[in-house]
A and B are shown apart, each in its own frame.
Chain A
Amino acid sequence: MSLAAASAPEAARPRRSPVALLVRFQSLLGLLIVIAAGLVFSPHRHGRLLFLQPDNVANIIRSISETGILALGMTFVIIAAGIDLSVGAVLGLSSVTTADLLVNDGWGLWSTLPLVVLIGTAFGAVQGAISTRFRIQAFIVTLAGLQAARGLALIVSDNSFININYGHGPGSAPPAFAVLGERIGGVFPVATLVFILLAVAAVALLNVTRYGRYVFATGGNERAARLSGIPVSRIKVSVYALTGFASAIAGIVHAGQFSFGSPNDGTGYELNAIAAVVIGGTDLFGGAGSMVGTVAGAVMLGALANILQLNDVSPAMQLLATGAIIVAAAALQTYVGQRSGGGSR
C-alpha cells in the first residue's frame, strides 16, 4: 500500500514503552485484528473465503471512501484542538449542488466541480473565522453550520431528490462524471482512488510541511504557539477550510457514485469520521495524532462492518460492535497516557 512509506516521518517522534508503541500503532494493530477476524469468520463459497474475494475487498474500500475523505480533514481539525460537526451536512449540500448544477442548470464539469469545492471550502473557512473571531466554541459554531448547510441543501434542491442522468443536452449530466461510480479494470473503485490520492496528500501535509507543524503546535498549546510567532488564528481558520474542502470532494464523490443528489444524504457521517480519527489514535484534546492512523481507522471500521454483514449480523449488533471498538481505542489511549505521565487530561 502506498501509505506505508508515508508513515516513515512518524518514526521521528518515538516513544519508548512497548505499551506506547501499542498506542502509536493501535489503529494498524486493530486493523490487523479485524482482518484476521475476517479471515476466521468469513463464510465460504465454492471453497473460497468470501471476505478475500476481489469483489468484497472492493466493496470494503469503496464503502469507506466518503467517510475516509471526511476523516482526513477532521484529523487536521482535531489535532488543532477543534471539532467539525458540519462535514456530513456539507457533504449533502455539495452533492445536491453538484447534481443541481449539472442536471438542472446545464453546467459543465469544469465549472461545476471547482465551484462546489469553492463553496465547501468557503463554508468551512467561515465557520472557522466565526469561531476564532468571536471566540465561540467550534462545537457550537459547527453545530449551527450543520443546520445551515442542511437548510441550504434543501433550498438548492427545492426539497427534492435530483437524479443524475447522463447524456448530452439539457437535463443530462456530462457522461464523464459517471466515472466516479465506475471501477478500474472492473475491480478498483474510482472513488477509492480519489480517497487514496487525498490521503497521500494529507499525510504529507501533516507530517512533512511547516503547515503541519503549525497545526500540531496550535492544538498542543495555543498560547505558546502564538508567542512563537505562529499565525494561530489563520491556522485555526485554515483547518476548517480543509474540512470544508474535504466535505465538498466527498459530496462530489457521493453524487458520482450514486448518480443522484439528495439534501439529506450524509446524515451522521460526521460521527463516523470522528470515530475513524479517534480509533486512529488522535487525541480529541488536540496536539497529538496521526493521519496514517486515521486512514487505518477508517479501513478498520469498513472492514468490521463488512464482516458483520457477511455473517448476517443484525444492523443493531453492528452499531454495538462499533461503539465497543471506539471505547476500547479511547481506553487504551487514556491508559497509556497515564502510564507515560503525559498526554492524558
Chain B
Amino acid sequence: MRAEVPGTDRAETPGTGGPLLSMRGVRKRFGGVHALRGVDFDLRRGEVHVLLGENGAGKSTLMGVLSGAIVPDDGEISIEGVPVRFGSPRDAHEAGVIMIPQELDLVPGLDIAANLFLGKERRRGGLALDNRRMRAEARTLLERAGVSLDASLPVGSLRMGERQLVAIAKALAADARILIMDEPTAALSAAEADHLAGVTRELAARGVGIVYISHRLEEVPRVGDRVTVMRDGQRVGEASPRAPQSELVDLLVGRPFSELFPPRAASVGAPVLELAGASYAPDRPRPGWQHTRDATLSVHEGEIVGLTGLMGAGRTEMMSALFGFGTTGRWRGTVRVGGVDAGLGSVGAARRAGIAFVTDDRRGTGLVLQHAVSENVTMSTWRRVTPFGFVSRRLQGRAVSRAIADYDVRPRRPEALAINLSGGNQQKVVFAKELLTRPRLLLLDEPTRGVDVGAKAEIYRQVRSLSATGLGVLVASSELPELIGLCDRIVVMRDGRTVCEFGAEADEAAIRAASEAADDTAAAAGPHAA
C-alpha cells in the first residue's frame, strides 16, 4: 500500500537520501484509553505529508509526541537517522521541530515583529531592543511565508488568514526543519486557504518537511504529496492525494462518500424566502464587508438551497444582514418571508418573521460555553419557559430533555457544560436552540466547519429531516462537494450579487467557473437551471 507519489509536477524533491523523520511503533495510553497503538510515520525532506483522521483518531496525540508535548510509552523517533527523545516542547524546538497549533500562539497586542522574535529578541549592545533590525528581518521572513505585511502592525488587527501566515513566519524564524500544521485552514476562507496551500508548497520546495493535519478532504490534492489516514489510534492506510475523496472517506470512516448525504426531497411547498433585486444598506458601514447589492433567489418549504461563492463574494454578509446579526440597516427591493414583506434589518425582526440562524462560529457566537446545555438550549426561547418573567424549572426541563432526545446530544445531561461537549455535540445544541424558536426559514453558515466526517453526515441527515417537515433551509458553505451532495439548488454569489443558479447534482467545475468568472457577461452565459 506504500505507493510512491505519481509523477506530479511537484514530486521532484522526495526520496533524496534517508527520511527526514521516522517514527516507529509509537504507543501511548491515557488511563485505560489506547490513544496510539504502535504507529509508524515518516516524513521526507521537501514533502507535505497530510495526516487525516476523525476526532479521537490519534492525530493530535501523534503530533504531540513529535513536538515534545507528550512523552510516549513506547516507540522510537529519529530525525535524519539520529535517534531523538523529546522531554518537552523546548527539546523539540531545538531540534527544529515546530508545531503551529490551531489556536495560534501569537500575542494579539504585540506587533508582528515582536511576535516573530518573542523570546529571541534582537538587541543592541545586549540591552536595548533593536526594533529596526527585527523589523527588517521580519520583512524577509514574511516574504518567505508569502505575505507582504507591515511588520509594525499589531497581530490583533490582522485577519485570520494573515495570522496563519505570521505563525508560519514565526516557525521560520525558529529555523524549522519539520513543521507541523494543525488544521491550519479551519478558520480560513476559501481564498485564504488557497493562498496558504501555495505558501505550504513553496516552503516544502525549500526543503522543509511538513506534516499537515486536516479535516478538509477537498484541500488534500491541492497541498499534499502523500496522505496517511489514522483511525482509532492506528494507521489504517496511506493514499495518494490524487485519490478520489470517496476513497479517503472510505478509509476515514469505513463507508462510502455518497452515503454521507441523505436522499433529496420529492417535492417542495410554498416559498418561504423570496429575494428579488434585493440590496442592503447598513446604518453603519463595516469595513471589509461585501454588502448585498443585487440578490435574487427563493427558498421553498421543504427545500435546501446552497449559497456559494469565493471569499468576499458576500455569502456570510447576506445571511448576517437577513438576520440582522452584527449589523442593522434597511433592505431595498423585494424581501419576502412566508409571502409577506418582512421589514428585516434587526435580530428582533428576523425572529418575528420566523428566521433562525446557525452561525459559522458556534463557540464565539452560538453558545455560552461556560453555561449548561439546558441554559444554552433555551436561550432563544426563554420567554416560553418563563411565564410572568419567572423561570419555570418544569417547562425548561421538559423543553430541554425533548431537545436533547430529538437532537441526540451526548452526554444526555442537561447540566453538562457546553464547553465540555465535542464539536459535533456543540453544534447539535446550537441547532436545538435555534429550532426551538419554530422557524420557517433556517439560515446555516458553514454548518459543518470543524466537525469530523461522521458528525457531518449526522448534520446532513438532520438538516434534511428538518426540511422534510416543511422548513426552508438556506446554507452557505465553502465546501462545494458538501453543497452538491446536500442541496436541491445552488446559488452562486459574486461581489454581493447573485450571479447564477444550478440544480441538484451540478458539476463542481462549472460552479467554480461561475464563482470565479471575471465579469458579468461570463456569468450571464452560465447555466440557469432552476
Contacts and interface: CB of A to CB of B under 8 A. Distances in A.
A227 B364 CA distance: 11
Interface in A204-248: 207-214, 216-217, 220-221, 223-230
A254 B403 CA distance: 50
Contacts of B347: 226-227, 229
Contact of B419 (A14, A216, A341): A341
Given A216-B371, A287-B371, A224 B417 contact: no
B365 A210 contact: no
B135 interface: no
Interface string B345-373: 00110010000010100001111111110
A228 B389 contact: no
Contact of B382 (A210, A220, A223, A341): A210
Contact of A342 (B375, B380, B386, B419): B419
Contacts of A224: 364-368, 379
B317 to A, nearest CB: 16
Contacts of A48: none
A174 interface: no
Contact of B386 (A15, A207, A213, A226): A213
Contacts of A228: 379-380, 433
Contacts of A214: 382
B390 A210 contact: yes
A133 interface: no
A343 interface: yes
Contacts of B118: none
Contact of A12 (B357, B389, B415, B433): B415
B101 to A, nearest CB: 17
A13 interface: yes
Interface in A166-217: 207-214, 216-217
A90 interface: no
B287 to A, nearest CB: 16
Nearest to A337: B370
B375 A217 contact: yes
B415 A217 contact: no
A288 interface: yes
B391 interface: yes
A221 B367 contact: yes
Given A12-B415, A13-B415, A210-B382, A229 B351 contact: yes
A210 B368 contact: no
B206 interface: no
22 contacts: A9-B393, A208-B390, A208-B391, A209-B386, A210-B383, A213-B375, A213-B379, A214-B382, A216-B375, A217-B368, A220-B370, A221-B365, A223-B326, A223-B364, A223-B365, A224-B364, A227-B357, A227-B365, A228-B433, A230-B382, A342-B369, A342-B370
Interface of A: 9, 12-15, 207-214, 216-217, 220-221, 223-230, 287-288, 341-343
Q: Which 4 A-B pairs have the closest CB atoms?
A: A220-B368, A210-B386, A342-B419, A228-B380
